Each structure stands twice: as C-alpha cells, then as structure tokens.
Structure 1
Amino acid sequence: MVEAVKHQLNMREWLAFVLVWGAAALITTTFCWLLSDIVWHGFSHISWTFLTAPPENAGRRGGIGPILVSTALILGVCLAVSLPVGISTAVLLAEFTSDQSLFGRLTRRSLDVLAGVPSIVFGLFGNAFFCKTLGLGFSILSGGLTLACMVLPILIRSTEEGFRAVPPNYRLSAASLGLSRTTTLIHLLLPAAVPGLLVGLVLSVGRAIAETAALIFTSGYVDRMPESLLDSGRALSIHIFDLSMNVSGGDANAYASALVLVISLLIINGITSWLAAYRLHRKIVTL
C-alpha cells in the first residue's frame, strides 16, 4: 500500500516536472524563433541612415527618423501624464483608503476591468473625446493621452502592490519617531515601493510602445517630421503594420523597423532592471 502511494506520488511529480519544463521550453523556443526571424531578415537593413532618414516611396526605401521622433513624443506624453496620476492614485488606494471601503473596492474593480479592455476601444474613446470633443484632432498629443488612459490601470495596480509590499514596521517606526504622513510617504514608503513602480513602468512602456490599434484612431498615419505635439505622427508600430499589410515590397523595412522596436524594448527593460538592482544594492549597503 505504501509503495503504491509512493509510486503514485513519483508519477505526479514526474508529470508536473515534464509539464513545467515543457511549457518553459515551448515559450523560450517560440521567443527565440521569433527573435531570430526578425534579426535574420532585418539586421542587414539597419544603418545610421535608416535610423535618421525620412521614409521614401511609401516606406519601401529611406529610413524611420521621423517615425522614431513621433514614437518618442507619443511615449513621452503618455508617461508625463500617466506617471504622476498613476503614482498619486496608487498612494491614495494603498495608504489612505481602507480595503473594505466601498470607494476602494469599486475603484480596484474598475481598474481591473479597464486593464482587460481591448486597445481598440481606447482608440475609439480617444478619437471621440480627445480628437473631436477637445478639438485636438489626429495628433501626437491625442495619441499620448489615449495611451496614458490605457496604461493607467496597469501602472496604478502595480504601484499599489509595491506600496502594500512595504513592511508595516516602516510605518510604525516612522509614527513612533513623530514623522508626518507626508514625510513618511516621500522619504520612506515611496523609495521602498520603487520595485513595484518599476514593474508597472516596464509593463506600461511595453504596452504603449508596441500599441497599434489605439494610435490608428488618434495619432494618425502621417510619416513626416512632427513640428509640435499637435501635429499628426506615425508611431513605429503603425509603420510596421502599414509596411507589412498595405505596402507591397515593404517587408524588408518592416523587419528592420520591428528589430528596432524589439531592441528599444530590450534597452528599456535592461535600464529598468539595472535601476532596480542599483536601488536594492544601495538599500543593502545603507542597512
């Protein structure tokens, strides 16, 4: 009887081992295959001229200089709006709102629902509100504000979890020393919650920089160099979509643009990981 139970447990452990490692191998293989395909077809087309020159012949030739500028401006508007609003809301939910309060429960449930809304819905909202109601038209500002609305739920929830991960002893020790809640928040809780904030930032940037559907309805298709935030601008993701779906003979530049997008995401993730590790190292050294 005992041997049969041991054999059954061993079979379950072996099956769980195979499933876990099989899933990990499948995900890793798929990622490596996609990355190698993009590198294989796109690396030879990347040059300084490609990164700085404007598109020519509907994007078949030329570069992506104005596209990169438009993408950076859209992402900048998105972060300039979403970071202060997201951090402030996360502080309100984590530090000043009870878990059992009606306001807190409704707000968190609403954020969870919004995080799962398809991006095209945000695009339609941005087109109706920012482009038409506010009169911003198809512009970089409209696209950035729409992306800010889209990434706010992720950023707020991740930052809130970062604040909740801070040990209660921090708050109790600060209160025993007579520190105000504002001082405790700025000098103690906010630095301790940086890892959660960085996680939300990485997820938000990753979703924003690769977004297509929401920007088609807000920032537009224009591929010239923008002169202001009220100019229409084509994001890199839209450029890739247009070259691969609407422009015959644009596959080469589409692959090169996709490789630039992947490299940009890897650089952003790498910088964020380094900042988190540096922050943790400084915290350990201080202790």
Structure 2
Amino acid sequence: MRESRARGADRLATLVFWAGACLVAALFLWLVGDVLWRGFSHLSLSFLTDAPEDAGRTGGIAPIIVSTLIIVAICMAVTVPLGLGTAILLAEYLPGSSRQGRLVRRSLDVLAGVPSVVFGLFGNALFCQLFGLGFSLLSGGLTLACMVLPFFIRTAEEGLRAVPREYRMAASALGLSQTGTLAHVLLPAAMPGLMAGFILAVTRSLAETAALIFTSGYVDRMPESLFESGRTLSVHIYDLAMNVSGGDGAAYASALVLMVILIVLNRVAMWLSRKWSTTKVVAS
C-alpha cells in the first residue's frame, strides 16, 4: 500500500514537471512564432541597411543596429573586467563569513532588485548631467553597466565557488601561485558559470528600454561618435508600438532582428568559451 502511494506520488510529480516544461516550451514557441509570422514579411536587405523614414514606418534600422551594438559593447567592456575582478575578490579573497563580504553581497542583491527606470534616472543625473556627457551612447552604455553588474558579479562568484576545493589543493601542491591557479585552473573550470553571467548581462542590456530613454535618447540617425545620442532596438520597438500608428510591422521586424542578434551573440560567446577553456587545458 505504501509502495503504491509512493509510485503514485512519483508519477504525479513527473507529470507536473513535464507539464511545466511543456508549458514553458509552448510559450517560447508561441512567442517566436508570433514574431516570425508578423515580422518576417517586413524583413529585407534594405530594412537592414537603410535609415528609418516616416518615424520608422518605412525605411530601415541600420543606425538603430549600430547604436545597439555600440551601447552593448560599452556596457560589456565595463562590466566584464570590473565584475570579474569583484567576483574573484568575493570568491577567493573574502571569506563568506566576513563582514565586508556580507556587505558587498547584500548590496549587490539589493541593486539587482532595483527597477531599471531608477537606474535610468541615476544615469541621467550622474553621467548626463554631473559628468556632462548628455544624452549619448556613452551615457547609455555606462548606465547599463551599472545595472547588469550585480547579475554578472553574483553569477560569476557562484561559478567560481562551484569549482571543487580539490582543484585549488592540487594546484597548490604543484607549486602554482594564487594568480596562476586563477588563470590556469579556476577560470577555465568556472567558465560555464562565467558565460552564464555574461549571457545574462548581454540579454539584459539588449532588452533594456526604460534606462536608455533617460540616458542615450531617441535619435535614430547614424552615430558618428560615442558622445552622440542613439536609439537602441528595444527603444525603437517601444516607440513604434506605442507612439507610431501603423508601425506594428516595422516593430515586429525589429523584434525579429533583435532576437537574431541575441542568438548570434550567445552562440559566439559559447564558442569563445569552449575555445578558451580548451586552449587553457592544453597549455596547462
């Protein structure tokens, strides 16, 4: 009787888990299918190479793509070195029970829950006004870096902590310094966690809208420097969907391009991760 109840509970749990997985997959397929269905017909070579016209109803999104990539590049150029250094400090140099470590982790957890519009107001006050950068790609990229740093740091820290302690002991027994252990043992072993944090940061920065409205602005022309205003794909999609009548087709096509860029960046990041890890292992 007891075994029968246990088997019934196992089957029910399995059914619930499969139902949840199927629901998530169905939502994903519905989202991708809807964007493909509505946006693919508006997609063309000219759409990718021309500038927007008639408030985005016609023309293309070439300046929008360029502005998006520049802002994401600025964001990641600041996030990766600063975030990785902080993660290494928390995981390897500050014990989990230390007061400084607890303070930094608590601060990161609080920052991760702050709404993006608050980061936009902060970036506007700090970068646009106090530093005198104005509405610019640089202001937008730096604001996004402040916003995604908590996610990257916490994910990278957990990736480093997940490396077995035996790796560190073996490296120490072989006479490797702490810096050598980090470079040749811990970072390659923690690469999946580091790449997870990187992908989360890229995804968050690509999809952000509210913070960029207050920092990088709405201008849809081709940027000539980092100090000029620029519109990202997410802001462009929002503007077409909410403020431009008859812009739904261009909005869906822009969303499709955004999804493709995200997938390509993720695949490139994973390829670089595998190549770097393999190179490090062979060199070691």
Work out the number of aligned pairs and report it: 284
Alignment-derived partner of residue 57 in structure 2: 60
Give 1:20 deviation, angstroms: 0.9
Alpha-carbon displacement from aligned partner over 1:53-109 (angstroms, at most 9, x marks no partner)? 000000000000000010011001101111110011011111110111000011111
Alpha-carbon displacement from aligned partner over 1:232-285 (angstroms, at most 9, x marks no partner)? 000000000000110001011001000000111111222233344455666787
Alignment-derived partner of residue 167 in structure 1: 164
| 1:34 and 2:35 matched | no
Q: Which ranges of structure 1 fall in alignment gaps of 5 or more residues? A: none
1:235 to 223, 228, 232: 232
Q: What secondary structure sits across from 2:208 in the alignment? A: coil
In structure 2, what is the Cα distance between the partners aligned to 1:11 and 1:278? 46
Residues 211 and 226 of structure 1, relative CA distance in 2, 3 Å threshold = same
| 1:111 and 2:111 matched | no
Alignment-derived partner of residue 189 in structure 2: 192
Give 1:193 deviation, angstroms: 2.0
In structure 2, what is the Cα distance between the partners aligned to 1:76 and 1:177? 38
Give 1:173 deviation, angstroms: 2.4
Give 1:185 deviation, angstroms: 1.9
1:209 to 185, 206, 214: 206
CA RMSD of aligned residues (A): 1.7
| 1:148 and 2:145 matched | yes
Q: What secondary structure sits across from 2:104 in the alignment? A: helix
In structure 2, what is the Cα distance between the partners aligned to 1:9 and 1:169? 38
Alpha-carbon displacement from aligned partner over 1:169-206 (angstroms, at most 9, x marks no partner)? 22222222332222222232222222211110000000
CA contact (8 A) 2:116 2:211 kept: yes
Alignment-derived partner of residue 8 in structure 1: 5
Residues 9 and 284 of structure 1, relative CA distance in 2, 3 Å threshold = farther
Identity of aligned residues (%): 60
In structure 1, what is the Cα distance between the partners aligned to 2:280 and 2:72? 30
Alignment-derived partner of residue 89 in structure 2: 92
2:260 to 233, 258, 263: 263
Q: Which ranges of structure 2 fall in alignment gaps of 5 or more residues? A: none
Alignment-derived partner of residue 77 in structure 1: 74
Q: What secondary structure sits across from 2:219 in the alignment? A: coil
Q: What letter corresponds to residue 77 of structure 2 in structure 1?
A: A
- Name whichever of 198-207 and 275-284 sits farther off: 275-284
In structure 2, what is the Cα distance between the partners aligned to 1:22 and 1:172? 44
In structure 2, what is the Cα distance between the partners aligned to 1:244 and 1:192? 44
2:218 to 216, 221, 229: 221
Residues 195 and 49 of structure 1, relative CA distance in 2, 3 Å threshold = same
Name the TM-score, length of structure 1 as normaliser.
Answer: 0.94
Alignment-derived partner of residue 135 in structure 2: 138
1:246 to 243, 246, 252: 243
Alignment-derived partner of residue 178 in structure 2: 181
Name the TM-score, length of structure 2 as normaliser.
Answer: 0.95
Residues 280 and 13 of structure 1, relative CA distance in 2, 3 Å threshold = farther
Q: What letter corresponds to residue 171 of structure 1 in structure 2?
A: R
Alpha-carbon displacement from aligned partner over 1:129-177 (angstroms, at most 9, x marks no partner)? 1111111111100100000001101111111112112222222222223
